[in-house]
Each structure stands twice: as structure tokens, then as C-alpha cells.
Chain A
């Protein structure tokens, strides 16, 4: 049973460029969340998708956008990259309905973005 998979694992961009990160949720999961983890910090919530719509959003500018496809996979897009966007981007999935709530998210290994 495949867990959450993310691609690419590492990438380097320059300021002003655009980047797209991809995520496939764990089998049986239909809700995808994205988190940004800067160096020395905890993960910070970017947004959450289910039923192909953005449902919740954290305190991130509009340069950060996303998409969810009918197969539940998701993309995170960041435009006009800044040096401060350098971070590990984590995708997490959950089943939309799962009995007793535990708050458990299933994370992928992340995509490490370096902006030069």
C-alpha cells in the first residue's frame, strides 16, 4: 500500500521563477493538505483541498496556489519565487470521513526547494 508520494524530492530555482510540486495521497484518502517547513521551524499550514476545491487556507500570499485532480492528487504552485520560499514542502493526506477524529495526518517525505 503506497503512502503519500511527492515529486520532485529536490529542486533549485532562482528568484522570480515559478515552481510546481506534486503529491499523490495515500490510497483511500481524498483530502490533501500542504505545509511549508522552513529551516529550524515546524511545518506551517498552507492550504487544504478536497472535492477539487480549496477548503482551508493558512496565512500565505496569493503567490501560493494549488489544485486537486479527480484522482485526488494535488499540485502546489508558487509564483514569483523569493529567497524566503526556500523550505521543505510537505504534502499530507487524510480520509474525508474516518470515524473517530484523531487529527492524524499522513505525510510524504517532502520536496526540498532551494531558491537562489
Chain B
């Protein structure tokens, strides 16, 4: 049973345009939602996170939106740059109860930004 789903295996956008990556989840116990970026032959690196009590978090070119009623979150990258080309993982975590940092990941979306 996949609790975190990324239904788009890949996404291709032009440099300078917006990239929108989507993620759905099923577990109502998740309190934190995160996005990680992974380049080949490297470990995942943290990008941005959002608490379940918020609906938006912004960090430079990256914005994450959370719609709790729809159990949906999205990552917006504006403007997209060729260096953003990587696999993006959506992840979720309960908070407290000894479950901190126990992340559940989606399968990832390969973003390609074309010059």
C-alpha cells in the first residue's frame, strides 16, 4: 500500500518556465511533508518542507503548497534552471511519538529542464 504517491514518473519543462511536481498521500497521521532532490550517484538532498498546519512554504525559487483536505501537495520551481534537472522525491513523516525522521517516500519524478 503506497502511502505517498507521485503519479508522474517524469516531467520536462523549458528553462525559465515553471515546474510543478505533484504528490498525493493517504495517511492522515502525517504531520510533515518534504521534498528531496537526487542527482545520479549522489544521496538525496533536502529541498524544502512544510508542516501540516501550514498551506504554503517558500524558499527562494521553491514553493511547496499543501492541501490537507485533498491530501495533496505540490512543489513549484520558478524559474526552472537546467541545474534543477534531477529526480524529486516527495516524503512524509509523522511528528512525535518516537516517529521523528521516519520518512515515507514516493517513487520520485524525474525533472528535465531543457535549455
By a beta-carbon cutoff of 8 Å, the part of chain A in contact with chain B is: 4, 31, 33, 35, 40-45, 48, 55-56, 58, 90, 92, 94, 101-110
Contacts and interface: CB of A to CB of B under 8 A. Distances in A.
Most buried by B among A58, A94, A107: A107
A109 B43 contact: yes
B101 A43 contact: no
Ordered nearest first, which 9 A-B pairs have the shortest CB separation? Answer: A42-B105, A107-B43, A104-B46, A103-B32, A103-B34, A43-B105, A107-B44, A109-B43, A103-B93
Interface residues of B, number: 26
A56 B43 contact: no
Contacts of B45: 107
Interface of B: 4, 6, 32, 34, 41-46, 49, 89, 91, 93, 95, 98-108
- Majority SS of interface residues in chain B? loop
A94 B101 contact: yes
Given A40-B107, A41-B107, A42-B89, A105 B101 contact: yes
Nearest to B108: A42
Contact of B43 (A4, A44, A94, A101): A4
A4 to B, nearest CB: 7
B99 A42 contact: no
Contacts of B44: 43, 90, 105, 107
